[in-house]
Chain A
Amino acid sequence: MKEEQNHEKAKRFGMVIDLDKCTGCGACMVACMSENNVPFKEDESKKLDSITWLRVYKLTNGKPFPDAEICYLPRPCQHCGGKGDHGHSPCVSVCPATATDYSNDTGIVSQIYTRCFGCRYCMAACPYHARYFNWWDPVWPDGMEKYLSPNVSVRMRGIVEKCSFCFHRYQIAMEKAHYEGRGELEENEYQTACTQACPANAITFGDLNNPGHAVHELKKDKNAFRLLERLQTNTKVYYISSREWVRRAGDNYLEKEKK
């Protein structure tokens, strides 16, 4: 019975990103785009049009030269669990088409492209700007459609897309586990593309509920914080920074307010 309970124990996949290690190289963004068939535009400087499931933001402390500091902050979908982890993510709550959903098994916020009709309520609801709208059908350079990943379906014009924590990798890993008669995955069997691409090992991915996974301990770091924590979105992406101003930048603190 105890074993059965263990087997059925819900997972909460999440990420811990060490901002002290991040150099802002953008390898995670590139890995993400190629892994997930994210369409790119001829003019990627047009930011209202470009789609980046994972975007690296540049933060500055706003001070003049000798004290000026920069911090790079990669932002995937935060996979909000909502208060009490009941799945009341901002986007899931507002979707009228059941196109975006929260799974209590994995804690992943899914986006079903064939279900979405592009009302963009979710984009308005998302406090992290993690959702993107396809204003156009994807146009691949000649022959590139043959290099797209068959594990991720390609999106069309008129729908919303976002980071899925590379859920297809979980599906593939689980398929192998089923074939070998296992019910559980090893930590290294399911890792997101950005995690593996990061040359500085700034991103750690795993099951936040599983004490055997690195993220379980890392999220308890004294310098760990989450973005806009006061909204109680209960996100599953944790950041670590030893710098006070970076941690403060994670939420909308008033100038004189004490954290």
Chain B
Amino acid sequence: MSKPDDKTTGISADTDSTEAEVSSAGGIAKGQGDEVGGFVILFFIIGFVASLIIGWVVFPKLLYSQKTQPIDFNHALHLEAVSDGCESCHIFRDDGTFAGVPGNAQCSDCHQEVQGDSPEEKKFVEEYVAKEREVPWLIYSKQPDCVFFSHAAHVKKAKMECVTCHGPIGESTSLKVYEENRLTGYSRDIWGKNIAGVKRETWDRMKMDDCAECHEKAAGKKSSVQTDKEACFVCHK
């Protein structure tokens, strides 16, 4: 700022005004530099926050479609009425395979006629039992095609509780929303609800690493030559 001052001093009559102009112009230039830097940081923060919101809030909403079950089943109510816990309805077949979700044949033992005054039960009896249609239940824990899972090995041999993987579904009075990954078609229960991948309970996720974690601890086998863990051909098919 001193240089323009030196040049202008004593040369022209309106030095004062020039000086004033020049000095004020210098002041503006300096102030602009600061503000640009501020804007860059501001825009970075805005962009950062926006991408976090998009990635953590908007994207999961886009990725998962929300589906409701055809019938809102009350697990708690039924668990009170049966004697053998989960296995009363979710049975093993004689060949050791697991039947999974019970079919109409089992339900209609009791629900041939409408018993209570629940609209869901009425819907079930009228829409499915009377018309001899099976309910197209959405399976929360359905695994990919390449996975072989033996319920007998876990429940019968290793004596694991259903809750360990499936969570306290037996205590629920209403079925939760089924979230389907639009890209893969798998249930969100496989990947887990927590977008950061934090796992608090054993049933929060059903990915391969979650199976492997327990297999390493419980089975402790090192039959795989490649990985020094349990062999791939145990759970894969």
Contacts and interface: CB of A to CB of B under 8 A. Distances in A.
Interface stretch (B27-35, B80-88, B210-218, B219-227): B219-227
B92 to A, nearest CB: 6
Contacts of B95: 172, 175-176, 179
Q: Please give me the 3 A-B residue pairs with the lowest Cβ-Cβ distance, nearest first.
A: A179-B96, A87-B225, A103-B231
Contact of B226 (A102, A105, A174, A178): A102
Interface residues of A, number: 36
Most buried by A among B95, B221, B237: B237
Nearest to B231: A103
Contacts of B144: 114
Nearest to A164: B233
A110 B92 contact: no
Interface string A165-195: 0011001101111111100000000000000
Contacts of A168: 148, 237
Interface string B134-156: 00000000001110101011001
A98 interface: yes
Nearest to A152: B237
B150 A106 contact: no
B153 A103 contact: no
B194 interface: no
Contact of B237 (A102, A108, A153, A180): A153
Contact of A92 (B92, B146, B153, B226): B226
26 contacts: A87-B225, A98-B226, A101-B226, A101-B233, A102-B226, A103-B234, A104-B222, A104-B225, A105-B221, A106-B233, A113-B146, A114-B146, A115-B232, A153-B145, A153-B237, A171-B150, A171-B237, A175-B152, A176-B95, A176-B96, A178-B96, A178-B152, A179-B95, A179-B152, A180-B96, A181-B157
A178 B153 contact: yes
B236 interface: yes
B69 interface: no
B174 interface: no
Interface residues of B, number: 26
B223 A112 contact: no
Given A112-B233, A178-B96, A181-B156, 17 more contacts: A92-B226, A98-B232, A102-B226, A103-B233, A104-B223, A104-B225, A105-B231, A106-B231, A151-B237, A154-B145, A175-B95, A176-B96, A177-B96, A178-B153, A178-B157, A179-B156, A180-B96
Interface of A: 86-88, 92, 95, 98, 100-106, 108, 110, 112-115, 151-154, 164, 167-168, 171-172, 174-181
A167 B235 CA distance: 11
B106 interface: no
Interface in B59-116: 92, 95-97
Given A101-B224, A171-B148, A110 B96 contact: no
Most buried by B among A92, A95, A103: A103
A178 B150 contact: yes
B38 to A, nearest CB: 48
Contacts of B225: 86-88, 92, 101-104
A165 to B, nearest CB: 9
Given A103-B224, A167-B237, A180-B96, A110 B150 contact: no
